[in-house]
Amino acid sequence: MRMIFLNLPVRDVAAGRAFYSALGFSIDEQFSDDSSASVVVSDAIHLQLLSREKFAGFLPEGTTTADPRSATAALYALSCDSREEVDAMVDKAVGAGGGTWMPAQDHGFLYGSSSTDPDGHVWEVLWMDPGATS
């Protein structure tokens, strides 16, 4: 099984930890400390929230850490099991301190919406009719 690990720079690790916990994700304390939090989205998806200082330590000299509040470099998409779960996830994100991004889009076989985390990282959540891919 392949896994994905996303390393995200955050201004406040504790706030990031609280935000992702409010979405129902767990924190792996073995890989967390005051400067980072390991968020378990699923068995195959993990987020490593890193203080901006710690994140910068992984970059080549002379490289700056982008601010996702002023420039979008990536859109992270996460699947859901239903349209209702899409809406619930966005509602949870906004209620936990995230922001709105784009309005929901309904293409019949595909439904999605989006929000940001407190640092401005964009999360798209989507449901796709399993029968549409057959």
Given 3.10.310.30, 1.20.58.1030, 3.10.180.10, 3.40.50.10800, which CATH number is that of 1-59?
A: 3.10.180.10
User: What is the chain's alpha carbon radius of gyration, rounded to the nearest angstrom?
Assistant: 15
- In the predicted model, is pLDDT for residue 97 greater than 80? yes
Q: Yes or no: say if 44 and 85 are a contact pair by the CB < 8 Å rule.
A: no
| 26 membership: H or E segment, kind and range | strand 26-27
What would the pLDDT profile of 28-75 be if each residue is shown by its tens digit? 999 999 999 999 999 999 999 999 999 999 999 999 999 999 998 899
Q: Yes or no: say if 123 and 86 are a contact pair by the CB < 8 Å rule.
A: no
Confidence of residue 134 (pLDDT cuts 50, 70, 90): low
Segments of the chain assigned to CATH 3.10.180.10: 1-59, 70-134
Given 3.30.565.10, 3.10.180.10, 3.40.50.300, 3.40.50.740, which CATH number is that of 70-134?
A: 3.10.180.10
**Rounded to a whole number, what is the distance in angstroms from the first to the last CA of the chain?**
23
Confidence of residue 1 (pLDDT cuts 50, 70, 90): confident
Q: Yes or no: say if 9 and 65 are a contact pair by the CB < 8 Å rule.
A: yes
